[in-house]
Amino acid sequence: MSDTPPKIRLRGLSKAFGSKRVLDGVDLDVAAGQGTVILGGSGSGKSVTIKCILGLIEPDSGSIEIDGRDVLSMSRRQREEILDRCGMLFQNAALFDSLPVWENVCFKPLAQKRLTRAQARDKAAEVLARVGLAGSVGDLSPSELSGGMQKRVGLARAIAGDPDIIFFDEPTTGLDPIMGAVIDGLIVDVVRDLGATALSITHDMPSARRIATTAAMIYHGRIVWTGPASSLGQTGNAMVDQFARGEREGPIGMELRK
């Protein structure tokens, strides 16, 4: 056990939608300054977990601590201050087609009036360069970009506020394997340069091994295994290894596929 307190600590996190219990006591420590990935079948509650941390879904019970502070019991303003230090790369990048790339990149600081439009243009050019895009891309519409470029723009938006914590929701989905590796490399670089903590969701095992140090598997609403991401596929845990290798036979039954 490390002496450094976790950046994010979840204890007993539970959430049901109607009669459907999705999270049933999630316990998870996300180490500061490292990458952690949550694995689990479709519909197992990975996104709901991240949405609870981001304040987009209120859990029914349990606690969420960030830097040792319980975010569920703090005031709305205090919670917003903490969430302002978080960045998010959404699945499919989730860019606004009606806005040029530079306004997408600096959407949040512009909406919060923390930057003037001129400052936001400069900031966008700076972060676009960090993800390997020319400043001129800032004037394009997201619809004019390839999938790989859209992910880069989504990554630029995620880091534009110099966040402490960055969430990555399936960052390589829809990309060819080489572009996926390129995006993973950028993720590792920007997270390291910012000294940030990264919490990711992915079904892509090579990506999980690249972007995370620690992996955690969610099953039936709980974290059932945590260990080194480098060991995925050879963890010795039959459930995790079946999942990581994508094998049909194993302890994970067909109920996940219903």
| Residue 17 engages ligand ATP in binding (rule: CB under 6 A) | yes
- Tokens of residue 110, six digits: 């512009």
| Residue 22 engages ligand ATP in binding (rule: CB under 6 A) | yes
Question: Which of 5, 43, 228, 251 contacts ligand ATP by CB under 6 A?
Answer: 43
| Residue 87 engages ligand ATP in binding (rule: CB under 6 A) | no
Q: Pick between residue 141 and residue 173 the one whose CB is nearest to ligand ATP.
A: 173
Question: Which of 7, 26, 29, 46 contacts ligand ATP by CB under 6 A?
Answer: 46
Question: Which of 26, 37, 39, 40 contacts ligand ATP by CB under 6 A?
Answer: 40
Residues 6+ away with beta carbon under 8 Å from 58: 52, 72
Give CA angle at 16 (10, 19), nearest 5°: 160
Residue 123 C-beta: closest distance to ligand ATP, Å: 31
Where are the alpha helices (H) located in 214-258, listed in sequence order? Answer: 238-245
| Residue 207 engages ligand ATP in binding (rule: CB under 6 A) | no
Residue 48 C-beta: closest distance to ligand ATP, Å: 4
Only segment of 27-35, 45-53, 111-119, 240-248 that touches ligand ATP (CB under 6 A):
45-53
| Residue 199 engages ligand ATP in binding (rule: CB under 6 A) | no
The SS3 of residue 228 is: strand
Handedness of CA 214, 74, 154, 116 (dihedral sign): negative
Residue 142 C-beta: closest distance to ligand ATP, Å: 22
| Residue 56 engages ligand ATP in binding (rule: CB under 6 A) | no
Where are the alpha helices (H) located in 140-176, listed in sequence order? Answer: 147-159
- CA distances 174 to 42, 133, 145, 147, Å, are 16, 19, 14, 7
Residue 98 C-beta: closest distance to ligand ATP, Å: 25
Rounded Cα distance between 125 and 217, Å, is 38
Only segment of 41-49, 138-146, 233-241, 244-252 that touches ligand ATP (CB under 6 A):
41-49
Rounded Cα distance between 88 and 110, Å, is 17
Which residues, 100 to 159, sit near ligand ATP by CB under 6 A? none
Residue 37 C-beta: closest distance to ligand ATP, Å: 12
Q: Pick between residue 20 and residue 248 the one whose CB is nearest to ligand ATP.
A: 20
Q: Are 4 and 27 in contact (CB under 8 A)?
A: no
Q: Pick between residue 74 and residue 94 the one whose CB is nearest to ligand ATP.
A: 94
CA 74 remoteness from chain centre:
23
- Tokens of residue 244, six digits: 């990581």
Handedness of CA 194, 195, 201, 207 (dihedral sign): positive
Residues that bind ligand ATP (CB under 6 A): 17, 22, 40, 42-48
